[in-house]
Structure 1
Amino acid sequence: MSNRAEEAVNYFTQYPVYEKLFQLFRKKYESLGKVSGTVKIEQFTKEELNHLSGFLKRSVHHLQENPTVSLRLFERRLQETRFQVADLHELLELYFQEPILWKQQLRIDEQELRRQKFEQRKIRYPQLSDWLSLLEAKNEKHRWILKQLDENETILKTLHLAITEKPSDLERISVYAQRIAGDPHAFDGSTVLGRCLIHYLYHLSNQQEGYPTSSEAINALLLTFGVLRDDISNFISIANIQATYNGGIHPVFAAASQQQSVLNVPLREILRLDGCHLSQGKDVFVVENSGVFSAILDDVPTMNLICTHGQIRIAGWKMLDLLALAGCRIHYSGDFDPEGLQMAQRILERYPKQAVLWRMSPTDYTSSLPSVRLNQERLSKLNSIRHVQLIDLAKQIRDKKLAGYQEGLLTHLIKDSKRYSE
């Protein structure tokens, strides 16, 4: 800073009115990016106006009648002084002892810094490069992740290690988390790291279905990566289904079929199977409710039967996949409610050549004597029903606004079971 410039700063620092005025000038310059426009001084006191009056060569009365100061006028008066300051912008930077920048230029600079930051992250964590590009696009849905990454870079480091050191076979999530992060709960769904892992895996998988929010959807996604979140309580109930294991007949499945006993098979055991087949025939029947499952077996103990216990979990899908692979025909019977139709549609779409509906026609809906009122939130789920075999049924349920249940068709289901088991 030259002696004259320093003299200028010292001069304006003596009078508090210039601090007040220069703050207004600064805001105006940051807004416009140039020395232009005016600022309002109607809140200035008469004493402050006295100081400005001499410098601006305007009477106090004039300033009171016209309470604005032009930046260009101030700059002209500045250049008439003995101070060696080129312009008002230079004076403001000297006065505040920092660069005074146009806000738009600041945004451009911030964007460039952010771009460089992402490029550095991509180089440092190459396995996360595509995911980071997705986040960089600044989708509103990703804002929470960006905030977490900005606050804690360790998340990226741990996530990158989790991807590069992914399970070679199947690994339980607590063991995996302990191995990667030294904390068995590091990938729990309630943690930031756990949520980021799911987000990464979802976009890596290019799934067509919506973002996983249910426990089953998250479990299925993790399983594609070789991570087991729950392989014991995730189970399915079966009757008269055989299995192969290590190249031979599975003795537990065989004994259960021989004794006409029900097996509750956890995902842990299903994942160890080589394949599945039926004790007799090629038709397997799937019901949603355990009461219906048990009642059918009371009358027809030889029925090839599966119970999903509500929405199909991973254990159920894995078992059905094995049966479909063996060429079995899958008959599905669910409740006459939006959730039951959604599950029926998933089965029809997953096994288009092998799945058929069992007692799920509009006539069967009427026969079930529907009586449970459906609220609008549940009825809106019927908007997702698009399969040709379910459209008429969905319309009928939407019109009646009533749900029907399998228990109302139990006699028909048992009758069908006897016919197929003869």
Structure 2
Amino acid sequence: MDITLAKLDELLLDRTGLTTREVVAQLVGPIGDRAAERRRATDRRTALWDWLAAHPVVTAQPALAGWVGGIRRAGLIDGSVSRTKEELEKVLKVLGELPAAGRPLPSFADDVLGDTHALDEGKRCANLVLKALVAIYDVPPPVGAPERRAVWERAGIADDQLSSTVLAAGLRIGGDDLVGSILDICADAGVAATLTLQQLRTKPRLTGAPAEVWIFENPSVLTVALERFGASCPPLVCTSGWPSSAGILLLNRLHEAGSTLHYHGDFDGEGLRIAANVVARTGAVPWRMTSADYLAAVADGPSVGRVTDVPWDPRLAGQLAETGKTVPEERLAVVLLDEIARRTRT
């Protein structure tokens, strides 16, 4: 025989003075609101993914959007929102410190996470960081230890202080120490200087940095600049593609000393990712890298490759993808140097 809950409540109240819910609670314990609990769990997960997508490390490098999507699809760690957020906070802390300045991995992990083994092979944090670096650098996922080491090295995790170098021209930072002397001698001679990570580490801070420094992606632009300006070359730095540990260290030292860093690179998929990386890690300002600059210069050229968004111009990536054509930095060299010449005369 079927009986409604209302009828059962009426009978139990009449016989016991208790409702059906109260009787069941006495027999089996407190009864939760499962629907409300499911809603709260959904809200907690949504808040977690929203927090991750809006994190400054992620928004500074939009190439990480796909990485965020992959983490969300993988779901919660151990089914726990708090455990997942705790792990992601460590990962984002690591990414916020990369690229490193040629640090050994255990030493870097100890400085950032307080544990020399936190980024050991096989650790969840290390795996998530490597997946993020794959997204940033747009490289295939590493297979095997040598490929994983190569990705770490690209992010400035290495023991070698000599092979990591950065090019500079017309850069004078004052002082009669090693780095200052090398830069002065090369600037006076109208030639480029090559600084190693080891050399830069001998000068913890700069005391006479220029007010403005212009950064280029391609060494050929420095060649054109030196042919034009010679010993009067304005202060220029070249990342030579993705910046090395030496390059990041020099740019950060210049930024800390008060220099305004102006960055320009190729208008293609990788060029935009490099630009976003330099801007995020060094405080550089994108210079003549808007959608309007791109459209003014675009012509027939190679395919742009995979394009990701950039923080400083929401239209630029879409226009590159729609046009499908690269604007190499070298094509704009004369225009860029003309502007630097005008600005340094004032």
Give structure 1 stretches of 5+ with no counterpart. 1-135, 138-169, 177-195
Which residue type is aligned with residue 292 of structure 1?
A: V
- Structure 2 Cα separation of the partners of residues 290 and 222 of structure 1: 20
Alignment check: 8 A CA contact 1:243 1:273 kept: no
Per the alignment, residue 299 of structure 1 pairs with 228
Larger radius of gyration: 1
Residue 322 of structure 2 is aligned to residue 399 of structure 1:
yes
State the TM-score, normalized to the length of structure 2: 0.54
1:342 is displaced (CA, Å) by: 1.0
Give every structure 1 segment of 4 or more consecutive aligned residues whose post-TM-superposition deviation is greater than 6 Å. Answer: 170-173, 244-249
1:317 is displaced (CA, Å) by: 0.7
Alignment check: 8 A CA contact 1:245 1:273 kept: no
- Structure 2 Cα separation of the partners of residues 291 and 221 of structure 1: 24
1:396 is displaced (CA, Å) by: 0.7
Residue 298 of structure 2 is aligned to residue 369 of structure 1:
yes
Alignment check: 8 A CA contact 2:301 2:327 kept: yes
> What SS is found at the alignment partner of 1:236?
strand
Specify which of 287, 303, 308 is matched with residue 358 of structure 1: 287
Distance change in 2, residues 1:368/1:315 (3 Å): same
Alignment check: 8 A CA contact 2:215 2:237 kept: yes
Alignment check: 8 A CA contact 1:296 1:417 kept: no
CA offsets 1:108-167 (integer angstroms, 9 cap, x no match): xxxxxxxxxxxxxxxxxxxxxxxxxxxx97xxxxxxxxxxxxxxxxxxxxxxxxxxxxxx
CA offsets 1:163-217 (integer angstroms, 9 cap, x no match): xxxxxxx9879xx9xxxxxxxxxxxxxxxxxxx84554x8279959715658775
Specify which of 152, 171, 185 is matched with residue 218 of structure 1: 152
Per the alignment, residue 104 of structure 1 pairs with none
> Superposition RMSD on alpha carbons, in Å?
3.7
1:300 is displaced (CA, Å) by: 2.5
Residue 174 of structure 2 is aligned to residue 252 of structure 1:
no
1:154-165 matches, cutoff 5 A: none
- Structure 1 Cα separation of the partners of residues 310 and 221 of structure 2: 27
Which residue type is aligned with residue 166 of structure 2?
A: I
Higher relative contact order (CA 8 A, sep 6+): 2
Which residue type is aligned with residue 224 of structure 2?
A: A
Alignment check: 8 A CA contact 2:179 2:200 kept: no
Distance change in 2, residues 1:408/1:300 (3 Å): same
Aligned-pair identity in percent equals 20
1:418 is displaced (CA, Å) by: 0.9
> What SS is found at the alignment partner of 1:371?
coil
- Structure 1 Cα separation of the partners of residues 240 and 333 of structure 2: 16
Per the alignment, residue 36 of structure 2 pairs with none
Specify which of 250, 266, 269 is matched with residue 199 of structure 2: 269
CA offsets 1:45-100 (integer angstroms, 9 cap, x no match): xxxxxxxxxxxxxxxxxxxxxxxxxxxxxxxxxxxxxxxxxxxxxxxxxxxxxxxx
Distance change in 2, residues 1:234/1:274 (3 Å): same
Per the alignment, residue 333 of structure 2 pairs with 410
- Structure 1 Cα separation of the partners of residues 122 and 175 of structure 2: 35
- Structure 2 Cα separation of the partners of residues 198 and 215 of structure 1: 10
How many residues in Structure 1 have an aligned counterpart in Structure 2? 222
Distance change in 2, residues 1:313/1:171 (3 Å): closer
Specify which of 223, 228, 236 is matched with residue 166 of structure 2: 236
> What SS is found at the alignment partner of 1:276?
coil
Alignment check: 8 A CA contact 2:213 2:262 kept: yes
- Structure 2 Cα separation of the partners of residues 402 and 336 of structure 1: 8
Alignment check: 8 A CA contact 1:245 1:272 kept: no
- Structure 1 Cα separation of the partners of residues 338 and 156 of structure 2: 41
